[in-house]
Amino acid sequence: METSIQTFVNLCQWDASRMLIFSDNVFGALIYYSHFLALIISVLVGVFVLSKDRKNIVNQVLFFIMMTFSLWVLFDLILWANEKPALIMFFWSAILIIEPLIYALCLYFIDVYIEKKDISVGKKITIFSLLLPVIVLLPTQYALVGFDLTNCFREPVEGLLATYYVYFIEIVYSFWILFYVIKKYVKATLEMKKQITLITVGVVLFLISFVSGNLIGSLTENWTLAQIGLFGMPILSGFLAYLIVKYKAFNTKLLGAQVLVVGLGLLVLVIAFIRNIENVKLVVAFTLLCVWLLGRVLIRSVQQEVKQREQLEILSEQLLIANDKLKDLDKLKTEFLSLASHQLRSPLTAIKGYASMVLDGDFGEINKEAKDAIDRVFQSAQNLTKIVEDFLSVSKIESGGMKYEMAPFSIAEITNDMVKDLSITAEKRGLKMSFTCDDNKGYMVNGDKEKLRQVILNFIDNSIKYTKEGQIDVSVKRESNKILFRVKDTGMGMTKEIKDSLFQKFARGDGARMNTTGSGLGLYLAKEIVVAHKGTVFIESEGLNKGSTFGFELDAIK
């Protein structure tokens, strides 16, 4: 049998292939040009896209499409050049599975590109299950009946699988892509519709040109003309390059311009593989057209980039000017707050002093109505004094002028004193207040005693103001080398949104409905003071009307 085949090869005068792909058996004028162009571009685009984001499923699927197509091109070129029947049968069989696989991968690619995520396992099984009969029956006569020794065309005789089923599933995949794209296009945003249109046009043109090579060659027997089909990959690559530059698809940013430049170089390089000089004019004309199209895309993208950069430079200058003005305004605001606060201090001190003297009877007896009115004046002046002090503290913090007198002291002692002083206020509101700590442990910290006293006062005072009924539990604990201060109440509680904003300036949440005298600066100041002591503040609440817990944590010293 081997002798008869060799005799047949000798009669047909087939050339022996070199490196599987070079031989005189390749009679078509543009065979090498079209194959090398498609092969090199597909490999470069696939490697380029994958290298920019290996974890992105869109990049991964596109890479597999490019590599699978490059294998198809390589195997097809081997079939053109080779004279050995066994190798021809092997690579022809491989192409029978690779060709529909490319269609399946294109469907997969369209899906993940639009959804921006991987598809389910069930959907993968559905897509690729159509390939199962080809895989199972590939070694049988349903795929290839045998090698045709009745002519010198070096072609196997195809079975039912290759003749009908492969084309059938390719048609199924094509309609599947179209129906899926139309469904997603209707629901997509305007910007996404543009991307869907471009990527669909690119993939569809690629598939049409991919299958057109066989159709043109079979119908016209002009296999030089049939090479038009292989230019589908440059078409798809052009669309992908446009997507990369225009929409920064596949996470490649502006580096898509590199692909365009490489593509232009390859179009010129592959001219070297044209075997007959009479075909050079045709190829040069085609190359010139591609250079013009790709160059136009590149120039427009560069022009757009330059324009955007010029606009960014103008905006940057404007932002710098605006930033300087904002700094000046912020400085003026801080100076104004400081000046206004200092100016308010003196009259407030006088109001409080005289109101206190009148209440104490230094100016003689007054009736109850007048005493109640003056008491309200005194309380209002007291509240206003606290607000002025808060403004002064904020001004000092923002200007970097807040001074801290650091010294060792016991958090437990000042908390205990504060609870005793505020218990009377809590009892007047019908609230129970308790204080717990373990006397056997040390609660010494290194800090500004008066500033931290202000924090403790703020937390306890807030719980009293915003708790209608129930109790307030104050505690100090030592956990390892940390001192933990907590104030837990049965008050109004808060939502997560309110909780996240409470330590900002002028943030009061829903508490403003219960108490309208606050400035919204107390918690902000408390946080800044604790942070200055290298500590942290926290809020805990299970929700509205479920109480709250305010506290801070500081480093302990022995």
DSSP per-residue codes, 424-443: HHHHHTTEEEEEEE-TTS--
What is the Cα–Cα distance from 44 to 202, expressed in whole angstroms?
A: 17
Please give the backbone phi and psi of residue 482, each rounded to the nearest 5 degrees, phi first.
-120, 145
**In the predicted model, what is the mean pLDDT of residues 448-457?**
87
What is the Cα–Cα distance from 498 to 543, expressed in whole angstroms?
A: 10
pLDDT above 70 as % of the chain? 71
Q: Does the pLDDT of residue 165 top 90, yes or no?
A: yes
What pLDDT does 261 receive?
Answer: 55
What pLDDT does 552 receive?
Answer: 92
Q: Which helix (H) or strand (E) holds 292?
A: helix 280-359
What is the Cα–Cα distance from 368 to 359, expressed in whole angstroms?
A: 10
Structure confidence by residue, pLDDT tens digits, 65-85: 989 989 998 998 898 888 888
Domains in the chain: boundaries: 2-275, 322-399, 407-555
What is the Cα–Cα distance from 82 to 86, expressed in whole angstroms?
A: 10
- Cβ neighbours of residue 237 closer than 8 Å, sequence gap 6 or more: 41, 42, 45, 259, 263
Q: Which helix (H) or strand (E) holds 335?
A: helix 280-359
Are β-strands 431-437 and 470-479 bridged in parallel, bridged antiparallel, or unpaired? parallel
Confidence of residue 173 (pLDDT cuts 50, 70, 90): very high
What pLDDT does 253 receive?
Answer: 47
Closest CA to 522 of 508, 543, 536, 538: 508
What pLDDT does 134 receive?
Answer: 93
Inter-CA distances, 17 with 10, 20, 147, Å: 14, 5, 18
What pLDDT does 254 receive?
Answer: 45
**In the predicted model, what is the mean pLDDT of residues 215-230?**
64
Three-class SS of residue 453?
helix
What is the Cα–Cα distance from 407 to 412, expressed in whole angstroms?
A: 15
322-399 and 2-275 share a CATH fold: no
Question: Regarding predicted confidence, which is higher, 64 or 370?
Answer: 64
What pLDDT does 183 receive?
Answer: 92
Tell me the average pLDDT of the chain: 78
- Contact present, 185 and 193 (Cβ < 8 Å): yes
pLDDT above 90 as % of the chain? 16
Confidence of residue 428 (pLDDT cuts 50, 70, 90): confident
Inter-CA distances, 86 with 79, 83, 156, 198, Å: 11, 9, 10, 42
Are β-strands 470-479 and 482-489 bridged in parallel, bridged antiparallel, or unpaired? antiparallel
What pLDDT does 321 receive?
Answer: 85
What pLDDT does 424 receive?
Answer: 85
Checking 427-431 for CB contacts under 8 A at 24+ apart, the result is 429/464, 429/467, 430/469, 431/464, 431/467, 431/469, 431/470, 431/471, 431/472
The residue with tokens 């209002």 is 380
Side chain identity, residue 181: V
Question: Regarding predicted confidence, which is higher, 258 or 420?
Answer: 420
What pLDDT does 109 receive?
Answer: 92
Structure confidence by residue, pLDDT tens digits, 392-417: 666 666 666 677 888 898 898 899 98
CATH code for the structural domain at 322-399: 1.10.287.130
What pLDDT does 1 receive?
Answer: 47
What is the Cα–Cα distance from 248 to 174, expressed in whole angstroms?
A: 27
- Cβ neighbours of residue 402 closer than 8 Å, sequence gap 6 or more: 393, 396, 528, 532
What pLDDT does 367 receive?
Answer: 81
What is the Cα–Cα distance from 88 to 207, expressed in whole angstroms?
A: 24
Of 1-10, 22-31, 137-146, 344-353, least confident by mean pLDDT is: 1-10
**In the predicted model, what is the mean pLDDT of residues 245-254?**
58
CATH tag for 2-275 (out of 3.40.50.300, 1.20.1070.10, 3.20.20.60, 3.40.80.10): 1.20.1070.10
For the chain, the 3-state helix, strand and coil shares in percent, each to the nearest 5, are 70, 10, 20
- Contact present, 258 and 47 (Cβ < 8 Å): no
What pLDDT does 187 receive?
Answer: 87
What pLDDT does 247 receive?
Answer: 67
Structure confidence by residue, pLDDT tens digits, 269-293: 555 555 554 555 565 566 666 667 6
Structure confidence by residue, pLDDT tens digits, 544-553: 888 899 999 9
Q: Does the pLDDT of residue 126 top 90, yes or no?
A: yes
Integer-rounded Cα Rg, in Å, for the chain is 41
Confidence of residue 28 (pLDDT cuts 50, 70, 90): low
- Cβ neighbours of residue 53 closer than 8 Å, sequence gap 6 or more: 59, 250, 251, 252
What pLDDT does 29 receive?
Answer: 59
CATH-assigned architecture of domain 407-555: 2-Layer Sandwich (3.30)
What pLDDT does 59 receive?
Answer: 86
Structure confidence by residue, pLDDT tens digits, 493-544: 888 778 777 777 655 555 444 444 555 677 888 888 888 889 998 888 888 8
- Cβ neighbours of residue 429 closer than 8 Å, sequence gap 6 or more: 464, 467
